[in-house]
Each structure stands twice: as C-alpha cells, then as structure tokens.
Structure 1
Amino acid sequence: MQLALAPLQTYTDYHFRNAHIAIFKGVDKFYAPYLKLNNDGTIKNAPKIDILPENNPRINIIPQLMACSEQEFFTMSDYIEDLGYSEVNWNMGCPYPMVTNRNLGAGILNKPSDLFKLFDTIFPKLKIGLGVKMRMGLESTAEILEILPRLNDYPLTEIIIHARYAKQLYNGGCDHERFMECISLTNHSLTYNGDITTNEEFDFLRTKFSTVQSWMIGRGAMVNPGLFEEIKFGTIDSGDVYRNKLMLLSEHLTNSLLNCNPDRGYALSKMKSYWEYLSESLSDGNQLYRKVKKAKDITELTDHLQYFLLD
C-alpha cells in the first residue's frame, strides 16, 4: 500500500512537507504543487524554489506542472529534469474556473482531441517519466469514460483520479461507482484521491476498491496530519500526545517560514491559513482558531497555540 500527500496550492509546500516528515510518519510520496508560468512565459519563482532539492533533502517528491501547450510543458519539464528529477506529474484536475477557462487543469478534459494531440507531440520528446492527476471530467464524471481507455496508448507512470468532476469543485460526494468503472478501463497504475478524511473512510474505500494499492490524501491530512500513521500503522495518538505533535509541527512550520522570509507578517499569514485546517481536528478547535485568527504577531499566535495545546 502506497500513501501520498496531495499537492494543495499554498499549503503542501516544502515548509509543510519538511515539518510533516519531521513529526509524523506514513507518507510514501509527496507531490509538490504545480509549477506555473508568468505572462512572459517564464516559470513563477515561488514554485521553482519549492522543488529545489536542497529544500527537500529527505523527501520522495514528485514535482507537478500545469500546461496547455507543448511549449509550456517543456519550459517546466526541462527545469524539473535539470534539477535531477526523473518524473513529473501533469495537473489535469484543478477545478477552479480561472484555470479551467484557460484550458488548464481540468479544463482540457472535455477536449479530448486537444489532449491527445498534445500527448502525441510531447511523448516522442519526453526524457523523464510522466504521470497525470485528473478529475473525472469538467462537467460530468462520464467524460472520463472516453479519455481513460485512450490513455492506455501512452507510457504513463501512473494515473491519479480525484473522483469528482471539476464543476463540483469540492462540493457533493465523490462518484465511487464511476471510479469502479475506471478500474477496468486502464492498464496503468491507478491511484484513488478524494474525501479520505478518517481511517474508517479509508477502510471503506479499500474494501470497495480492493485492487487499488495507491491512495492520495489532501484536505484530510491538512485537518489531521496524523491520518497517514493511523491508516498505515494503526497508530492513534492520545489527545495530549497529538496536541504535542501539533505544537511541534507548528514550531517547525514557523521556523521554516521565518528562515525563508524574515517578514513576520508573511509567517503570520501562512500560519493562520494552516491553522484554519489544523484546528478542525480538535474539540476546542473553533475557540483556538478564533484566537489564532485575531493574532497580530507570530509570537502572539504561538502563545495562543501553547495555551490551548500544552496547558
């Protein structure tokens, strides 16, 4: 069984990846949030820095890109290859309209002729492995039924499927029955992604999709970063132990952010965004997050966390 941390923009960057691996166990692969381009065609700086090997010293990381043309693809994949990576993941799953309206992310899934034309031009020139992370479609999960069998013609390293269509965003349930259809339509290694938030939910899915050996967790791990340990090892920390781990995670994150950027306001903003998720796993999380949200300095935020988590 392989467990992976999903690439969540602004959240699962190298600060979070390094903090997580220092405190928690169970993640086999980390996927970096996608590289993206500036208007002049160069790669944006923040995601370039995020995948530098020196920023990910102990991490099995798969970089991700998002492109809608051959030129865009190779601008980013060449950079990834030059850093020494042997594999890249292509984001065909981002559901937000500002992305899909530009034929990026899941916006290409209802244009299969354009998608396969891109594949036909890219694969003969590709020097590293390529996997894809995709939704089941843009407007319907039925769209994947046309795409998935044709992907068997290409030497993909893996296919990761988030079991929703893009226009759902993250609303409504995942389409488990459609995912079951997908299993028989592909010859590739298949990873399930979507709404794995508890060990019980994972057990249900593992029983339902008994042939699937690879799983990706995103938002569930942001709420409960110990979820991987619970699934893989059956380890469920007591309340005090878990709270101590969250405090250590927060300290790692804060130190990493301040080492990267001495602007304390930057660290404060990032930590507030992390704790919007992390607080959800605690019985007094609403009260804690109200305090965190009102903090005017990173020291004040840390003091609130120590009061709630350690006292």
Structure 2
Amino acid sequence: MQLALAPLQTYTDYHFRNAHLAVFSGVDKFYAPYLKLNNDGTIKSAPKIDILPKNNPTISVIPQLMACSVEEFFVMADYIESLGYQEVNWNMGCPYPMVTNRNLGAGILNKPQEIFGMLDRIIPKSKLKLGIKMRMGLESTEEILEILPKLNDYPLTEIIIHARYAKQLYNGTCDHERFRECISLTKHSLTYNGDITTREEFEELSRQFQTIDSWMIGRGAMMNPGLFEEIKFGVVDSSEVYRNKLMSFSRHLEESLLSCNPDRGYALSKLKSYWEYLCEGLSDGKQLYRKLKKAKAVEDFNAFITEML
C-alpha cells in the first residue's frame, strides 16, 4: 500500500512536509503544490522556492505544475529538471473558477483534444517522467469516460483521480461508482483521492476498491497529520500522545517558517492557517481556534496551544 500527501496550495509546502516527517510517519510520497506562471511568463516565486532541494533535504518530492499550453509547460518543466528532479505531475484537478476559467487545472477537462494535443508535443520532448492528477471532469464526472481510455496511448507514470467534478469544489460526495468505472478504463497505475478523513473511511474505500493500492490524502491529513500512520500501522495515539505530537509539529512549523522569513507576523499568519485545519480534528478545536485567531504574537499563539493542549 502506498500513501501520498496531496499537494494543497499554500498548505502542504516544505514547512508542512518537513514538520510532518519529523513528528509523524506513514507517508510514502510527497507532492509539492503546483508551479504556476505570472502574467509576464515567469514562474511564481513561492512554489519555485518550495521545491528547492535545500528545502527538501530528506524528502523525495514530486513537483507539480499547472499549464494550458506546451510553451507554459516547458518553462516550468525545464526549471524542475534543472533542480535534478526526474518526474513531474501535471495538475488537471484544481477546481476553483479563477483557475478553470483560464483553461488551467480542471478547466481543460471538457476539452480533451487539447489535452491529447499537448501530450503529443510534450511526451517526445520532455526528459521528465510525467504523471497526471485530475478531477473526473469540469461539469460532470462523465467527462472522464472520454479522456481516460485515450490516456492509455501515453507513457504516464500514474493517474491520480479526485473523485469529484470541478464545479462541486469540495462540496457534495465523491462519485465512487464512476471511479469504479475508471478502474477498468485505464492501464495506468491509478491512485484514489477524495474524502479520506478517518481510518474508517479509508477501510470502507479499500473494501470497495480492492485492486487499488495507492491512495492520496489531502484535507484529512491537514485535520489529522497522524492519519497516515493510523491507516498504515493501525495504531491510534492516545489523546495525550497525539496532542503532544501536535505541539511538537507546531514548533517545527514555527522554526521552519522563521528560518526562511524572520517576520514573526508572517509566521503567525501561516501558523493560524495551518491550525484552522488542525483544530477541526480536535474535540475542543472550535474553542481553541477562537483563541488562536485572537493571538497578536507568536508567543501568545504558543501560550494558547500549551494552555489548551
């Protein structure tokens, strides 16, 4: 069984990945949030920094990019290759309208000929191995039924499927029946992604899809960073042990954030964003987050965590 940490923009960055590796276990593959271009054609700086080898010294990371043209693809792919990476993941899954309206992310899924046309030009030229992370469609999960069989013509490393269509965003339920159809339509290694937030949910999905051996977890890992080891090793920490791990995890995040940017206000803002998710996994999380939101300094923030946990 392979477990992967999903690439969640602004969340599962190298600060989160390194802190997770220091405190928790169970992740087999880490994916970095996507690279994207500025309006002037240069790569946005934050994701460039995120995948620098010096920021991922002990982690095997697969970078991700988002492109709607071959030219855009290679601007980012060439940078990724220059850092020594051997594989890239193409994001066809981001569901947000500001992205999809520009034919980026899942916005290309209702234009399959554009996908295949790009692949026809990318595959022969790229030295990087290529995988794809995708939604099942832009407006309907039926859209994947046309795309998936034709992807068999291309030498992809894997296809990761979030079992929703883009216009759902993260609402409603995943379409498990459609995912079951997908299994029979592809010869590629298939990874399931979507709504794995507890070990019980994973076990139910594992029973449904017994041929699937690769799973990706995103929001569930943000709410409970210990979820991977719960699934992989079947060990659930006591409340006291888990809360101590969370405090250690938060300290690692803080140290990493301050090492890259001494602005304590920046660190505080980022810590609040991480803990908005982490609090969802705690029985008293709403009460804790109300306090954390009011913190004016990192020291106050840490005091609230120590007091509550």
TM-score > 0.5 by shorter chain: yes
**C-alpha separation between the residues in 2 aligned to 1:126 and 1:257?**
34
Partner of 2:134: 134
**C-alpha separation between the residues in 2 aligned to 1:135 and 1:61?**
21
Q: Name the SS for the 2:91 alignment partner.
A: strand
Q: Work out whether 1:81 is the aligned partner of 2:81.
A: yes
Q: Name the SS for the 2:210 alignment partner.
A: coil
Partner of 1:119: 119
Post-superposition shift, 1:128?
Answer: 1.1
Partner of 2:302: 302
**C-alpha separation between the residues in 2 aligned to 1:299 and 1:37?**
36
Partner of 1:276: 276
Q: Name the SS for the 1:38 alignment partner.
A: coil
**C-alpha separation between the residues in 2 aligned to 1:251 and 1:307?**
15
Post-superposition shift, 1:272?
Answer: 0.5
Question: Post-superposition, which runs of at least 4 consecutive aligned residues in structure 1 deviate over 3 A?
Answer: none
Partner of 1:193: 193
**C-alpha separation between the residues in 1 aligned to 2:85 and 2:102?**
28
**C-alpha separation between the residues in 2 aligned to 1:19 and 1:272?**
16
Letter in 1 for 2:33: P
| Identity across matched positions, percent | 78
Partner of 1:265: 265
**Tell me, which stretches of 5 or more residues in structure 2 are unaligned?**
none
**C-alpha separation between the residues in 1 aligned to 2:138 and 2:36?**
20
Q: Work out whether 1:53 is the aligned partner of 2:53.
A: yes
Letter in 2 for 1:249: F
Q: Deviations over 1:13-35 (max 9, x none)?
A: 00000000000000000000000
Post-superposition shift, 1:67?
Answer: 0.1
Q: Work out whether 1:91 is the aligned partner of 2:114.
A: no
User: How large is the Cα RMSD of the aligned pairs?
Assistant: 0.5
Q: Deviations over 1:161-205 (max 9, x none)?
A: 000000000000000000000000000000000000100000000
Letter in 2 for 1:268: L
Post-superposition shift, 1:116?
Answer: 0.8
Letter in 2 for 1:197: T
Letter in 1 for 2:232: K
Q: Deviations over 1:234-279 (max 9, x none)?
A: 1100000000000000000011101110111100100011110001
TM-score by length of 1: 0.99
Post-superposition shift, 1:146?
Answer: 0.2
Q: Name the SS for the 2:216 alignment partner.
A: strand
Letter in 1 for 2:71: Q
Partner of 2:65: 65
**C-alpha separation between the residues in 1 aligned to 2:114 and 2:286?**
46
**C-alpha separation between the residues in 1 aligned to 2:81 and 2:147?**
27
**C-alpha separation between the residues in 1 aligned to 2:235 and 2:85?**
32
TM-score by length of 2: 0.99
Post-superposition shift, 1:119?
Answer: 0.7
**C-alpha separation between the residues in 1 aligned to 2:203 and 2:238?**
21
Q: Work out whether 1:4 is the aligned partner of 2:7.
A: no
**C-alpha separation between the residues in 1 aligned to 2:270 and 2:167?**
27
Post-superposition shift, 1:284?
Answer: 1.0
Q: Name the SS for the 2:134 alignment partner.
A: strand
Q: Work out whether 1:16 is the aligned partner of 2:8.
A: no
**C-alpha separation between the residues in 2 aligned to 1:113 and 1:64?**
22
Q: Work out whether 1:176 is the aligned partner of 2:176.
A: yes
**Tell me, which stretches of 5 or more residues in structure 1 are unaligned?**
none
Post-superposition shift, 1:7?
Answer: 0.2
Q: Name the SS for the 2:99 alignment partner.
A: helix
Post-superposition shift, 1:57?
Answer: 0.8
Partner of 2:223: 223
**C-alpha separation between the residues in 2 aligned to 1:299 and 1:91?**
38
